[in-house]
Structure 1
């Protein structure tokens, strides 16, 4: 998918929390090492084993990171949404990508080159701390995922996921979660088969804990649902 008009990369970068505090001339320097990527739904951004020359920032859209087995089955590792970035750790390690990245929807991304980031990190320790904090949060989430896969039942994983997805603006009873993508991808993200995922949603529906309406999951009483996360 090609954009009909070029975007203002400097303006976009100036609104990215990672680059808060950079002077306009520094933003301009980062922008010179940044290129826009317009991806249509289904486009592959990179394959496992491809060299990494920087990291990506999602302006809008959704990107799936995952593995594919020799038999063709797929494991979704992460779903990256608007405003989030990915690829920083591999960039610092100077290693090839260990996952593939595919657009789940029409998406616009910025690819920020390793060379321009490394130059800026030498000048700005605050940027360095922000990037380390971001990678630490990603590692913490990975450890949480490993704990969930190892110690929690499928039902606990789904309930925990739904609770985490409740918008921060919603409180009390009669809450609604909108699934960010199709159920098969979310099931893979939770290390479940799609059939198992659907069966658990049906069980939760039968218990009166949720009401499924397409991608919208209505939660009549989150405290009752939370009781099944233990």
Structure 2
């Protein structure tokens, strides 16, 4: 069993854990392990076999894909309390993406056998997974729309708003400990362009920029900005 207190607390407080029996929760705690990844370290490679469901205990990771010419496209960012990779685990397939620690992160790794055990034996977990997959579909539809946008500030607004999706990122703090370079990586743009976009969003009263962090003041406003401010 992992001896990290944060990981145990994260497992016990997860929305999907509330309906587990004591025996099921004990099995989860015994079989789920945690690992620490430094900023920039690969959590899992593209085309690796999906042996674990991945949870972010603390920190932030990004999910991205590489095109044939080597360009990276970020699909999503996952912060404290979020889980990812359920689709590949469900289908027992190779992961079509890579996962990279955006900053120093502690990661929970639930074995696929444990994941499928819960899916087979616990109705609460099944309901959670339906909601999770539905939220993931909505996220990727929004992503496709954002990459059609010519207005970069709208893309950054959409990217930031997704970090507050209550299903996928249940514990995101309104004070984001994230650099402008990291936001650029999430949005697929340079730090300089992210800097300009963030100042436009600050001028719109949606956030406040501080050194090494961003205060998100209006998540709904970010979503509205992403929908309405396109060229």
> Normalised by the size of structure 1, how large is the TM-score?
0.76
Counterparts in 2 of 1:1-230, with a 5 A limit? 6-7=3-4, 11-69=9-67, 71-151=69-149, 153-161=151-159, 178-201=175-198, 204=200, 208-209=203-204, 212-216=209-213, 229-230=228-229
Q: CA deviation at 1:110?
A: 1.2
RMSD of equivalent CA atoms = 3.5
Structure showing greater Rg: 1
Instruction: Note if contact 2:75-2:140 (Cα within 8 Å) is conserved in structure 1.
Output: no
**Secondary structure of the structure 2 residue equivalent to 1:120:** helix
Q: Which runs of 5+ in 2 are unaligned?
A: 167-173
Q: Which runs of 5+ in 1 are unaligned?
A: 169-176
Q: CA deviation at 1:89?
A: 0.7
Q: CA deviation at 1:155?
A: 3.0
> Normalised by the size of structure 2, how large is the TM-score?
0.75
Aligned CA distance change for structure 1 residues 69 and 20 (closer, same or farther; 3 Å) = same
- State how many pairs are aligned: 215
**Secondary structure of the structure 2 residue equivalent to 1:56:** strand
**Secondary structure of the structure 1 residue equivalent to 2:100:** strand
Deviates more, 1:140-149 or 1:6-15: 6-15
